[in-house]
Structure 1
Amino acid sequence: MIVVCGEALFDVFATGEGVEQRAAAIGLSACQGGSPFNLATGVARLGGTASFFGGLSRDLFGRKLHAALAAEGVDLSAAPRPDAPTALVMVSVDDRGVPLYTFYGSGTADRMVTQADLAGVPADAAAIHVGSYCMVVEPVASTLRALVERQRGRSLIVYDPNVRLTIEPDVGIWRESVRWMQRRADVLKVSEEDIHALYPGMRVDTFIAESLEAGVALVVVTWGERGVVAVTRSQLAVEVPAVPVTVVDTVGAGDTFQAGLLAWLQRAGKLTRRAVEGLPQDELVEALRFAARAAAVTCSRRGADLPYTSELADVEGFELS
């Protein structure tokens, strides 16, 4: 079981503007989202087994999120149900299709996860995935750190910072979280964009080297349209090009890539630190190709609509093994 930890929320998109009763009006469309929510959904859709550990409100939005995860086959036995509202994020995209986020909410269910809730997380989980803004806001950040400490050496610890400065604008807090996780994560996936947001001017290979020196077994850096590079602690380094696709937007692309990588590792029986660190080149390339093709499908349609394994057969140049 892969336990995915963090937020579930609704992304809100503007669908048009108008005038009603002399007041400016904006049509809105709300879609389920949140990086960990997307990730848990994606793992399940891509043939993996996932559990979600994140605060799910009992309000209308929270009930919808709970039902959506359950419908995908995600285990919800560990998910707390705080008496707090669901977080909302306003999403717009720039002229390149890159998403821009504005956060609405404090004291929301995603943050109200406490260390008492850890009793519901199975100690024999194969992998624990943490990341996104729940690693930098309280009390959930302290709860997730406690979980990481509890599961080190028991589970594969996987981390994706998924930086959102619109939610926590203090770069120093994000940097401290990354440094803390570099000393504890077995797998670290990060976008080039996030590296530059946190460390302006830092070379990607410098970040990779520092992460490996700190103890990470596998570092994966996504480069958007330029593909992905991955380096293991045993100094195996591979690059995989991006899959050509007509981009509608990139919302959920990174989450899809991570879901594909984790689902591949789980299906291959590689969810251990020793297995990840010792992946042969052909298997690492295969895992990255699977993840990249899944991400390409998501980029080809609106929003974080993650693909099912069966859809990958339609991607040019890809054959299911």
Structure 2
Amino acid sequence: MIIVCGEALFDVFPDGDHARGYALSARVGGSPFNLAIGLARLGAPSLFFGGLSADLFGRKLAATLAGEGVDIRSAPRPAAPTALVMVDLDPDGVPDYTLYGTATADRAVAADDLAALPSDAAAVHVGSYCMVVEPVASTLRALVTRQRGRSLIAFDPNVRLTIEPDRQRWIDAIAWMLPVTDLLKISDEDIAQLYPDLAPQAFMELALRSGVALVVVTRGGEGVLAATAALAPLALPALTVDVVDTVGAGDTFQAALLSYLARHAMLTRAALEALDRQALQAALRFAARAAAITCSRRGADLPRLEEVRADD
């Protein structure tokens, strides 16, 4: 079981420009929400730990997770509305996000809610803006502290400065997480936004010195970099794909990477530290193929195991 922590929300897309306004299309989303579904579609049992509202949006989010086979029994149900995020795509399909609402269900996750979570999960994934807004950020730190050494700790900062514009909060969250993280997935865009003076490889060295076992940097069309303390940075080129948009691409990569590691009995810190170059390349290729499929269709429509080819 992989516990996925963070927000479930609705992404709202413009769907037509009219004289007196816009038509809008609302779709279930949120990086951890997508990741939990991606894991389930790839055959890895997942449990979602994030606030789910009782409003019509929250009910749809809960039904979607359950329908995909994600365990939601431990998800808190606070008396707060669902967060809505406006997604504006540029001509290349790259999204920009604007959050509407702050006193929302995704943030209203308290320390008492942790009692519902099992302590024997194989892995715990945290990330996105729930690591920098309260009270949920403190709750997730408490969970990481509880599970450190029991479960593999995976972290994807997934920086969204349009949602939380204070860069220092993101930097502080990453500084706290690096010494307790086993698997770090971060984009080169995240690094550039927070550490403009650090090249991706320099940030990878910093993360490894801080205690991370495996660092993966996704670089969009430039491919992927990955390294462990024992393996020098490995570069994997990007796959050629006709991009519709990149919504959910990073979530897909992380879901595919975690599911691959789980399927091959490598979802432990010791296994990550012992990775050889061939095993790491195979895991990254699987994750890259999955992300490319998501980029080929609109929105965060993550692939199923049979689409990515499970026999690698």
Q: Given residue 50 of structure 1, which amino acid in structure 2 is its aligned partner?
A: S
1:41-190 mapped onto 2 (5 Å cutoff): 41-190=37-186
- CA deviation map 1:241-295 (0-9, x unaligned): 1110000110000000000000001111111100111112211111100000000
Contact conserved, 1:182 with 1:211, CA < 8 A, in 2?
Answer: yes
Q: Given residue 154 of structure 1, which amino acid in structure 2 is its aligned partner?
A: R
Cα distance in 2 between the residues matched to 1:69 and 1:269: 25
Gaps of 5+ in 1: 314-318
After superposing on structure 2, the runs of 4+ consecutive aligned residues of structure 1 that deviate more than 6 Å are none
Cα distance in 2 between the residues matched to 1:140 and 1:175: 17
Secondary structure in structure 1 of the residue aligned to 2:36: helix
Could you state the TM-score of these two structures normalised by the residue count of structure 1?
0.96
Gaps of 5+ in 2: none
Cα distance in 2 between the residues matched to 1:97 and 1:200: 24
Cα distance in 2 between the residues matched to 1:102 and 1:127: 30
Q: Given residue 6 of structure 2, which amino acid in structure 1 is its aligned partner?
A: G
Cα distance in 2 between the residues matched to 1:264 and 1:82: 33
- CA deviation map 1:44-95 (0-9, x unaligned): 1111111100001111000100010111111112111111100000001112
What residue is the counterpart of 1:320 in the other structure?
Answer: 311
For residue 38 of structure 1, the aligned residue among 25, 34, 37 is 34
Cα distance in 2 between the residues matched to 1:233 and 1:155: 20
Cα distance in 1 between the residues matched to 2:67 and 2:249: 22
Q: Given residue 13 of structure 1, which amino acid in structure 2 is its aligned partner?
A: F
Cα distance in 1 between the residues matched to 2:281 and 2:168: 34
Cα distance in 1 between the residues matched to 2:41 and 2:59: 21
Q: CA deviation at 1:236?
A: 4.3
Cα distance in 2 between the residues matched to 1:37 and 1:227: 24
Cα distance in 2 between the residues matched to 1:71 and 1:211: 37
What residue is the counterpart of 1:298 in the other structure?
Answer: 294
Secondary structure in structure 1 of the residue aligned to 2:98: strand
Could you state the TM-score of these two structures normalised by the residue count of structure 2?
0.98
Q: Given residue 199 of structure 1, which amino acid in structure 2 is its aligned partner?
A: Y
Let me know the Cα RMSD of the aligned residues: 1.0
Q: CA deviation at 1:237?
A: 3.1
